[in-house]
A and B are shown apart, each in its own frame.
Chain A
């Protein structure tokens, strides 16, 4: 297991370096000359060639590309994401304030996604090819067709305007407030199809195995057959695949938080995109990518723990 872990972790280092490189390159090409843009924005009369050259030197923008990249990476490692173009404030503290909001939302959605998905998937597998099975899979597939920014207004119209169940759903009062219910619910149900399918297919495959027949033949109660033999082996792919839903949660937060006006990581990204604030876009893209890479690594390691065959490939 130790060799496997070390091998996996080492494999992720080049990916992280590549991600850092791509993010910086795009952010470098995107806005053109930041000094020129900034000077023009503050005071166009200052934009003579000499001033610009001096500013370029002060900010180290006349150095070779790779040196600038190294400098940027060094700053990121120290938690310095640069300043926002629009507000001139440091991005690091903003992220430290906003990311936890999204993390709470994401974690709550993840828990419902995992428990609900596994429960419904198990139900579908045990009632294979009955109307219950078709209903669960069909419904999850149906919900999955709605992008979150479509589902948000539609449910808001039904729940707030028609049924009047909630006063208003816009804004953020913390995770344990009525306003958080709809976002969390939408967040989790839109990702259900993955775990439901994997659980269902995993369990169906195990149910037809010889050792399950043996367990039944020796007179083990059905409840124990399911718990000890079927669930334990059939859920490996579901559990490991849950790490992959992190990618959906990261991108989903952009649209969810924009639709519900929640001031988290996603909303920050959207604001950065709208304002062409390249430093913010670079910072949030990088964080999103690192979250996904991290969860992929955890997925790989978890797979190694749960399924020993993987370790000896």
Chain B
């Protein structure tokens, strides 16, 4: 870098090397709400992974002498109607929320990226089939489809896993919690990928017309190489924005399913389930409803503002909003 063009490195001393990511970070940290969102997001992920280990009590432990208590030194967030420590339950719920959010996001991103790229680059019949499936899935109101799939697929999935258990003898397939998670992940992923695949497809279609890709084609690079090394990396900015915005959505979707009594079943803890369980007593013990509600809202809020900040940072050409 320094040796080229005239041999002076004065210019380099004045301007430290910059790249897309440094510029983006500069723009990102100017948005204070986004920085707060980032902090909340990191804290949520941390609590989702280590939270249950930090919990003061076992989240299923029933203390009959402490029913529906307000927050105290002994129970920082109070106890629920049957005397379980609220903080421990919320931390366990964080595990569920984060686990679902991470898995759903990974599945969606991979599916969106792979199917979107294939669709754009192969064109023809492949493109038509993938995009028609996406169109049909988008025609259903998102969460309603997840609810429907979750409600109808419970029996078939448990039958299949029972069959797998008999086939392999692995206790893993008999674990109802695993089956619950599988159904929830499948149902939420089903509604998430079409939007991402469309986004990636659009990005790649416009990139494909650019000179540097045409140059690769002219040089005779194999198709997979152009896709993996040139098209995908350049389409990734908007994808990061869409993905980070969808993490909060995945958390809401998980809570929504358990709010309706689908999703992760007791004794597994989920914020949505905690809200609906305590809803019956909302006017007597408002704090029991308020605790999980506020925690869920703060987490989603954090991820949404993070997504918004990333949008401004990574898509500078778009109008700020």
Contacts and interface: CB of A to CB of B under 8 A. Distances in A.
Contacts of B147: 254, 269, 273, 281, 285
B259 A153 contact: no
Given A147-B296, A161-B283, A200-B321, A274 B260 contact: yes
Contact of B282 (A156, A255, A270): A156
Interface in A164-221: 197, 200-201, 204-205
A289 B155 contact: no
B196 interface: no
Contacts of A259: 279
B262 A273 contact: yes
Given A30-B151, A153-B275, A255-B259, A147 B252 contact: yes
B152 A29 contact: yes
A274 B261 contact: yes
Contact of B319 (A156, A160, A205, A293): A205
Contact of A32 (B145, B155, B252): B155
Considering residues B139, B276, B301, B304, which has the most beta carbons from chain A within 10 angstroms of its beta carbon?
Answer: B139
A288 B135 CA distance: 16
A144 B304 contact: yes
Interface in A274-295: 274, 276, 278, 281, 284-285, 288-289, 291-293
Interface string B124-145: 0000000010011001111111
A74 B145 CA distance: 23
Interface string A146-160: 110110011011001
A22 B136 contact: yes
A256 B238 CA distance: 32
Given A26-B148, A30-B155, A150-B296, A204 B319 contact: yes
A237 B152 CA distance: 37
A234 B65 CA distance: 63
Contacts of A22: 136, 140
B178 interface: no
Interface in B258-294: 259-262, 272, 275-276, 279, 282-283, 286, 289-290, 293-294
B286 A157 contact: yes
Contacts of A137: 321
Given A30-B152, A144-B304, A254 B144 contact: yes
B153 A15 contact: no
Nearest to A147: B252
A28 B264 CA distance: 24
Contacts of B139: 15, 18-19, 289, 292-293, 296
Contact of A251 (B144, B248, B262): B144
Nearest to B262: A273
B117 interface: no
B157 to A, nearest CB: 10
B321 A250 contact: no
Contacts of A254: 143-144, 147, 260
Given A22-B136, A254-B147, A292-B140, A153 B282 contact: yes
Q: Is the interface of A mostly helix, strand, loop or mixed?
A: helix
Contacts of B260: 254, 258, 270, 273-274
B256 A27 contact: no
A138 interface: yes
A18 B275 contact: no
Contact of B142 (A23, A201, A251, A296): A251
Contacts of B320: 129
B289 A250 contact: no
Interface in A19-69: 19, 22-23, 26-27, 29-32
Nearest to B133: A18
Nearest to B271: A150
A155 B43 CA distance: 26
A259 to B, nearest CB: 7
B193 interface: no
A150 to B, nearest CB: 4
Interface string B146-177: 01110111111000000000000000000000
A91 B305 CA distance: 43
A269 B148 CA distance: 10
A278 B283 CA distance: 33
A26 B140 contact: no
B33 interface: yes
Nearest to A22: B136
B297 interface: yes
A23 B320 CA distance: 40
B85 interface: no
Given A19-B136, A141-B304, A273-B261, A150 B297 contact: yes
28 contacts: A18-B136, A29-B152, A30-B154, A141-B304, A141-B305, A145-B301, A146-B301, A149-B256, A153-B275, A153-B282, A154-B289, A156-B282, A157-B290, A201-B321, A204-B319, A205-B319, A247-B142, A250-B141, A251-B144, A254-B144, A255-B256, A258-B259, A269-B147, A270-B260, A278-B151, A281-B147, A284-B144, A285-B148
Interface of B: 33, 132, 135-136, 139-145, 147-149, 151-156, 248, 252, 255-256, 259-262, 272, 275-276, 279, 282-283, 286, 289-290, 293-294, 296-297, 300-301, 304-305, 308, 319-321
Task: Give the top 8 A-B pairs by smallest Cβ distance, nearest first.
Answer: A30-B152, A145-B301, A251-B143, A150-B293, A153-B289, A26-B152, A157-B286, A250-B141
Given A154-B297, A281-B147, A292-B140, 5 more contacts: A22-B140, A30-B155, A129-B320, A153-B293, A291-B141
